[in-house]
Each structure stands twice: as C-alpha cells, then as structure tokens.
Structure 1
Amino acid sequence: MSRFFSSFISRLLPWVVLVHALLFIIFWLTNSLFYASTNDYLADMLGWRLDYVSLLLWISAFIGVWSFTRFILNRLGKTHKLAVLSSWIYGFIALLYILFFYGSFNLLFSESPVQFVRLGQLTGYFRMILDAVLILGIALLVTFSIRNAMQKGKLADGQRNWRPLIMVLLVFGVLWSLPLVFPPDSVLRGRLPDKPLVIAHRGASMLAPENTLASAHLAVGMGTYGLETDIQISHDGALFLLHDEAFDRTTDIASVFPGREKEPAANFDLAEISQLNAGKWFLEQDPFHAVRQGFITSEQIKEYQVQAVPVLADWLDIVRTRHAVFIFDLKAPPEDHPYADSFFDLSFNQIHQAGIDPQVWFLVDEEQLQILRNLAPEMIPAFGADYQSPPAAAGLITQGYQLVNVEYGVRRLWMQQYREAGLWVNVYTVDEPWQFSRLWLLGVDSITTSNAGVMADIDQPIFSLPYSLYALLWFVVGLLGLGLIVGLIYSPPNPRPVSLP
C-alpha cells in the first residue's frame, strides 16, 4: 500500500495537480476583467479587502512549478534524505489544492452561472486552435499504436502494407471533416454584420469611478453610442445614481458616517449623500489596474478626487447635450420607504421632462409599458430577459416591446429569433474583445460594456476568418496530418545495436 501511495504521489499526482493549476491560471488570465467583482465578493464575505485573485494565481503558479519539478526529478531518479517527508507534505498540499480548485469553481458557478456558459463560448470561439491540436494529437496517438504493433509483429504480413494506413486515414478523415461542417464561432459565413453599437456601463467604469459625471463625460468622449446607469431615490425623494444597495464600496462613507457603511442608500437624504466622495476609492483600490498601468492622467486623478455621487438631473444633461442613448436600471427602495410607491412615477417624470424621449431605452414590465405607450410613445420600451429562460419573440412583439436587454449567456438561436422578428438586441456586460467579436459575428445590435474605450476602437472582429480562408487553412492542417501519418507508419524502424562477439 505504501509503495502504491509513493508511486501515486511521485508519478500521477504531480501531473494531476499541474493540469488543475494550469486550468485555474488560464481561466483567470482569460477572464481578468472579472477580477474586480470577484475581489469585491470575497472582501464582503471575508471582511478584509485584498487582491485575492492575484494571490491565488501566484499560489497556483507556485504549486504548478512545484508539481512539474517533482515529476522531472522523479524521472531523473533524483532523491534526497527528506524525500519521504517532502512527499507527504506535497501530497497533503496537492490534495488541498485540488479540493480548493473544485470548491472555488463550484462557488463561482453557483454565484455566477453565466461564467460556466462563458467557458463554452470561449472554447467555441478559439476552437480553431483546439481542433488542430486535437485532430493531430489523436492521429499521432493512433499512428504510434499501429506502428508499435507492426514493429512487434502483432499484425500479419498482409496487413502491414495497407490495412493500418486505411484504418488511420478513415479515422483522420472523419475527424478532419467535422470542423468544416461545424466551424468555430470565429469563422464568418457571408457578409460581416454591422459593428454593434457601444453602450458605456456606468460610464467608462474601467477608467473612471463608476456612475460619476467624470465617467459619463469620458465615455461620450470616446464616441460611445449611449450611457447605462442605475437610479435610486433618497429618503427625501431625490433621484441619484448608485449601483449597490449601500455606499460602502464606492464612497468614503466609513469616514463621513462611521457605522452606517452597510445601511441602505435609500435611507440617506440628499444633504447627507452630497457629503460623500465617489471618486477616491477608485484611485485607492485601482480595481482594474488603470492607475498602475498609467492609463489615468494626472489631470484625471485630480478630477476623480473630487467626484460626488451625482443626481439624475446632471446625468440627463450629458445625455441631452451629447445626444446619447440612455438605458438604466431602477433600483426600487425598501417597501417601507416614503417614496416606495411613487419611485417609478418620479423617475419617469424626470426623464420625460428632460426632453430626450427618443434617446431613452426604458426597461419596463407590462404594467409600466402601458404608461410609456400612453404618455411617452417615443421612448423605446425594453424587456429585461433572463438568458436562461428568454421569452419568445412573438409574445414580446405582441406586448409592444421593441428591444431585448439580455446577458451574454443567451444562446445564439434566441438572438437570431429576436433579430428576425425585428427586435433590437442589446447584450450585457461584454468586457472582453473576443466576446465582443463573437457577438459582432452573430449580428447583435449593441452591447453594454465597462471596457468602453477598447470596444469603441475595435475595427474588425479579432481572430476571425472568412469561411473560405478557414477552409484553406484547415486543408493545410489536413495535409500536415496526412504527412505525419504516412511518414510515421512507414518510416524505417530504428536499427537495433549489434553486439560484437
């Protein structure tokens, strides 16, 4: 039993841990824009703010290098006096890491199920690389198996000439043809759709404090099509902008009103809210490393240091003067709030009186939809769809909706159905260039993004090819595979050394 355990730790376990460490690192390196929300979640859960994701990446890199080193040393037969003790320590830490790996992803996918969908989308978009590696790897594996069988004499003499080759070529041909029938999501068939319009999520929130006037001005200066924000109401009936239920994450409330950090924002009156600073946190925490990487100028730093929590009227002035589209979430106050029953009416009236009705994408339920149709027919009624259970396009058209706002996890068939029915499709929150490119190829009308500057500057879908060029490259992959198969099966075996008498 001890021999089996020792063999398991020295040979198999390092490879298992190395693969898990690489998967963890690859996931987060391709999902770096999810760092901030993950760190915020862990800070709320653990009560201590830290760059947890970066710390876990360094730990994973250390464990991966440790595992690879142990495997190499074992292959070379290198041992030392403390080999047994170090094996037990490594085995314990390795098993803890594997438990952490599955536990962390289980927590991540339960809290944000769309991340699991994103993995499939990422794989589908970059499948061109994966397909080539997979088909060549399988072909090589089968080829080496047949070659070994031929060299050991397990195949009859009549079989050595053509049957092994036909067998491998059939397998290779079937596998090779599948990507031509079902190409990767990055392959364009037909005309390239128009580039999706860019809506700035809480303004240019990766380069400026979210939901501030600085963020809004920066976003419209980048040439974005519109602005997205979140509307709440104060205890004395003033409409202001804030995403979270409380002020603790994005203001200095801990120093201005100590002890009230977790209190609902709707409990504060406007005079109290106006005392809060909504910009310093962005400079201090640097959630997207914009300050560290030099993306923020000295003038912007001075501007951010004096940002206040904006009222809705100031944001509407920017929308009106810059002719931007305006989409927003209404964050209803608690039921016992003095303006709980009139929150929608107050919000609607202020937006309607701003004189920007054609620019407004209003997320409304069926009852609120009737108000829009009667009092503000130029506003665009929008339906907020759940990507896991989106409604049929025909029903939305019948009710009078003109736009569907849905998370990027929605299946392509639903997006196609909406667009064919004449509904505008806006997808959120799209912060990665490859995801933006994927949705561009699908013909999405617009996207909401925190990474507004990068998305606005993209001129062509990244890593995308027309089908004709993809088929040509895939034909080259096929020729390469055929050359490897034929060459390996029929190459002469290595001569055995002759022992002299």
Structure 2
Amino acid sequence: MYARTVSATAAALLGVTALLLPGSATQAAAPATPAWSNDGPAVIAHRGASAYAPENTLAAIDLADRMGFAWVENDVQRTKDGELVVVHDDSLARTTNVEQLFPGRSPWKIKDFTAAEIATLDAGSWFGSDFAGARVPTLKQYVNRVERNHQKLLLEIKKPELYPGIEKDTLRVLGREGWLNRHHVKHKLVIQSFGADSVKAVHAQRPDITTGFLGTPAVADLPKYAAFTDQINPTHTSLTADYVAAVHKLKGAHGKQLKVNTWTVNTTAAAVRVHDFGVDGIITNNPDVVRDAVGR
C-alpha cells in the first residue's frame, strides 16, 4: 500500500527539489494574492501541494507556501471522541499505516478511532520515505500552521452525513483559533461541502462566512443554491463555458456575483481550458503546473 508513482514531469520534480533545498533562492514565498480577483483565477493547492508531498499533512501546506501559493484546500472529519482531523478518505487505510498498527479493526474508519490513536499513525511513508513519520493533523494544528504560513484556507467538511453536527464543531475550532474574526472571515476563509444541507448549516450559523457547494447543479436549480452559498465548485470535466456564464449571472448569498472554483485540474491543457471558460479559481494537486499555464 506504500508504493506510489508521483505523476509529475521531471522538470517539475526538479523544481520542487530546489524548493526543498536549504538556502535555495526559491524558498522565499511569493506575495499572497487575493482569491478570485480580477487578475485571473486563483490557484488553490488541493490538500496542499499534494503532487509533491503527502496530502492533507503539514508538509504539504508548508511546501505550497514555499512554492508561493496563498490558498490551500483541506478535508475535515471527526474522530470517535469528537476531535476534528484533516483526512480525505473516511477510512485511514490508504494514507496511513493503520492496517499494520491496528490489524483487527477493518475497515479502519476515522469515526471508529480516537484522536490519540490516530496521532500514532504514519501519514507520510505511503507517499515516500522522505516523509516518513508525518502525522495526521488535527484541524487545530492545521489552521495554526496555515496561519503561521500567512496562507488562506478553503476548508471542506467531508461526508457530513457521517458526522451529525460537524458544522458546529468546525466553527467552534475555527473560533477558538481566531479564524472567525472579521479579517479571517473576509479575506482568508471559505467553507465548502458536497452536502447542500451542510453548506446551509454553516450559512445559518455564521452567515458572514463565504461558502461553496461542491458539485454541478442543473442550471435551473442554481437560484436555489445562490440563496445559501457564494460559490459553485464543480469538477472540471463537467464544466462548459455556458455553465460558468450561467453561474456568473447570479448573485450569491452575500449579494455578490456567484463564483466558480473547479477541481481537480492537474495538467496544462485542462488549466488552459477552464481558464478560457472564465472560472474564478482552480483547485489542483500541481499548483506550479497550473500557475505556469494561466499566467499567475
């Protein structure tokens, strides 16, 4: 389960290696640019710079920072004892050594493990030996690192149907860590989900927060979504220029133009295609590839 082939060109890998070298001139982060500005689409590092470091780890967001990317995306789920952790799958099996440490607890669901148990797992070796010992971060640890890096966060509430009340829990952690003040809410935070009810819950509890719905609703249904969200965030394979234009015709929950962030765009060709459609943000495992493609 630990074997992995990283899908990147040799040139890209060399570039990332340079970023990791101590004293490299490329270590200095580029100035943060506002998301969804008029200068072209924001480039958002999906689960961090996840083509080059293990997804959803602190190493992945640190690398995104060194590469100069202000926005990172993550996934939030809840443990058996109520801690919020940053993992994509609802099982720990793919990205940790949980099968080795807890062999009798298949299918290794996050909701069946305590935070202390998850903290013992290796979340880096599956990706490569250089990342051995990386841990699954709690949401608290994650947002504190994003803050230290002066980055911004597109936070996904993952599979909310498995975790009733996770919206309130998420807002509680964000509030305790200083992420619900006016500056963070206005400039540094977006909360999204595939669950429309989850997005509605966030909007109802904190109507000042920018929210996004993950999916491609029918054009006829877009006004219903615009009542509680600010972004429609579809997979790039479902997009057309006409669909982006239809979204942009509407105003979202905060009375501003409804935005489109698309995922997961990892090639130059796909980046150019969605850029030409006029999307507002591009979510990618390969932020350097997309940045080069769209001139950001």
Larger Rg: 1
Find the aligned partners of 2:260 and 2:56 in 1 and give their Cα distance: 23
Which residue of 2 is the match for residue 450 of structure 1? 285
Moved over 3 A (4+): 48-51, 332-335, 364-375, 389-397, 457-461
Q: Map 1:419-498; keep pairs closer than 5 Å.
A: 419-421=248-250, 422-458=257-293, 460=295
Q: Note if contact 2:80-2:115 (Cα within 8 Å) is conserved in structure 1.
A: yes
Assess if the C-alpha contact under 8 Å between 1:194 and 1:443 holds in 2: no
User: One-letter code of the match for 2:43?
Assistant: V
- How far has the Cα of 1:279 moved from its partner? 0.4
Indicate the residue corresponding to 1:249 in structure 2: 94
Aligned equivalents of 1:378, 1:341: Cα separation in 2? 22
Q: Deviations over 1:12-52 (max 9, x none)?
A: xxxxxxxxxxxxxxxxxxxxxxxxxxxxxxx8xxxx9898x
Name the amino acid aligned to 2:242.
L
Deviation at 1:419, TM superposition (A): 2.0
- Do 1:197 and 1:225's aligned partners in 2 also have CA atoms closer than 8 Å? no
Residue 380 of structure 1 pairs with residue 210 of structure 2: yes
| Cα deviation 1:218-248 (Å, max 9, x = unaligned) | 1122222311111111111111011112111
1:216 is aligned, of 55, 61, 80, to: 61
Aligned-pair identity (%): 28
Residue deviations 1:275-304 (CA, integer Å, cap 9, x gap):
1000011016xxxxxxxxxxxxxxxx2xx1
Partners of 2:198 and 2:295 lie apart in 1 by 39
Gaps of 5+ in 1: 1-42, 52-192, 285-300, 462-501
Q: Cα–Cα, structure 1 residues 232 and 197, in superposed 2: closer, same or farther, change >3 Å?
A: same
Q: Tell me how far apart the structure 1 counterparts of residues 289 and 196 of structure 2 sit (CA, whole Å).
A: 36
Asked if 1:414 corresponds to 2:243, the answer is yes
Once superposed, what is the RMSD of the aligned Cα atoms? 2.8
Q: Is the 2:3–2:127 contact (alpha carbons within 8 Å) kept by the matching residues of 1?
A: no
TM-score by length of 2: 0.75
**Is 1:353 the counterpart of 2:176 in the alignment?**
yes
Query: How far 1:395 sits from its partner (Å)?
Result: 3.5
Aligned residue for 1:386, secondary structure, equals coil
C-alpha spacing 1:326/1:253, structure 2 compared with 1 (3 Å): same
Give, in whole Å, the separation in 2 of the partners of 1:460 and 1:369. Answer: 32
Please state whether the residue corresponding to 1:378 is helix, strand or coil. coil
Q: How many residues matched?
A: 251
Query: Is the Cα contact below 8 Å between 1:250 and 1:279 reproduced in 2?
Result: yes
Q: 2:191 aligns with which of 355, 362, 373?
A: 362
Match of 1:305 among 124, 132, 142: 132
More helix by share: 1
Higher strand share: 2
Residue type at the aligned position of 1:317:
N
Gaps of 5+ in 2: 6-37, 251-256
Q: Secondary structure at the match of 1:282?
A: coil
* Cα offset, 1:371, TM superposition: 5.0
Separation in 1 of the partners of 2:156 and 2:209? 15
Structure with the bigger RCO (C-alpha within 8 Å, sep 6+) is 2
TM-score w.r.t. structure 1 length? 0.46
In 2, Cα distance between the equivalents of 1:255 and 1:281?
A: 12
Q: Distance in 2 between matches of 1:254 and 1:229?
A: 23
Query: Partner amino acid for 1:242?
Result: V
User: Which residue of 2 is the match for residue 195 of structure 1?
Assistant: 40
